[in-house]
A and B are shown apart, each in its own frame.
Chain A
């Protein structure tokens, strides 16, 4: 019975993978065909194999890996700071009523301000160097972790509040047995979003603040030297790293919250 169920499940999954892969494959084929048929200027869109070759040579070249490591380090530092402050603020806002009325309105307005609008201010306050970049990335990670954690607290079902009241839980017991476990999925959603925002902000910071070792720097360099293969390579890499983050976050979530199927 279980094998039967498995095959029944396996088929749609395969279909799903094919469907997901269809568009990228078509795009790659179109790219390849257009460069081969000479439909586009190879300076503007180099052939696929050039990008692959560039990737190969760059991966053996220490500079590129150093740049990737620099970007990742910056990204994770900013993410850690921003997500920690964001999640903590979300908890404070959710569980401590006065904080909600004092900070809530300000934060709601803060949400309306586009992330990149903070760049000039951050550049002045923290400098455009490493601290400024990390502050910018942290700000990007702060927002989603705050909002999701806060909403998670608000969405703790009434029936659990009532249960805690009936069991005469102390505030601490409520947090330990009801509050925190109930909002873990929301916190995770926030962290996942923060991871993606932080990665985007990393490249943004590298492109719009001062040049520093990093993927954004490599991208700028590729543009200035008109090496489109390098630019395309960095774009592909950004996507891959982002997807990698997503997969890792998903895996750790299922691992940590495995038992909560109800």
Chain B
């Protein structure tokens, strides 16, 4: 498995931006390409570098986990991909086209569910279809189908406040998917849930994403979650936010595609990621994955 532009900030040549075409065969599959993305904020007159020279290619159908401590700019990265913030340097290409604004090709699940409290579960999902060209009947059907996908068809009439945290987040997942986006962006979607619910939803997320055959980008600070769900893990480090390494996840899978969380290879990989994040060893060496 080759990683494109992996940690190219380590390269000595700065004046030749890496081109997507430069890597043979890769551009065919890379549907989201970030090249040399940098972003800074001005906080009280001081310049804070949120992202520094981030390059990343995401392939069709891939599940990419981005893991890092808070402040590493991983949520900022998602905002840029969503098109919520256009004030950055570098380039973000979606199917070869620069990202200019939010679009229904990218669905997002935020850490807080962001359901509208005055709408029922069903209406909360349906509201995402306001710009859809489906007929009213098709809309109703697809809302139903997505509520079934997250197992909440019986709660269609309920209001968000009547649901548990895990259920609320499942509604948010249904809302993010109802437009059948090509990308599902997940911004610490399970971060606010209790440990048991989180484990259960990780499996559910895995099932849903396989079912939809969607390309997913998960931002998390939970290393277990990143390893458990990801096909590749992007490790980010803060101050300034940058990619410290990209690791492929090659772990044995059961027939249903699930991985064992206690498998020796899983634990090894997890410890390796933790090491790269500077946990468990004093001087974490930043190095690229094989």
Residues of chain A touching chain B, judged by Cβ–Cβ distance below 8 Å, are 159-160, 162-163, 165-170, 173, 177-178, 181-182, 184, 259-262
Contacts and interface: CB of A to CB of B under 8 A. Distances in A.
Nearest to B108: A166
Contact of B161 (A165, A182, A261): A261
B211 interface: no
Nearest to A166: B102
A162 to B, nearest CB: 6
Contacts of A173: 130
Contact of A162 (B84, B119, B127): B84
A9 B82 CA distance: 48
A168 B112 contact: no
B160 interface: yes
B131 A167 contact: yes
Nearest to B168: A262
Contact of B131 (A162, A168, A181): A168
B116 interface: yes
Interface of B is mostly: loop
Interface string B186-215: 000000000000000000000000000000
B116 A170 contact: no
B155 interface: no
B130 A167 contact: yes
Interface in B97-119: 101-104, 106, 108, 110, 112, 114, 116-119
Contacts of A162: 84, 114
B69 interface: no
A166 B184 CA distance: 12
A260 B118 contact: yes
A261 B82 CA distance: 30
Interface in B55-112: 82, 84, 101-104, 106, 108, 110, 112
B82 A166 contact: yes
A260 B130 contact: no
B20 interface: no
Contacts of B145: none
Contacts of B160: 262
B163 to A, nearest CB: 10
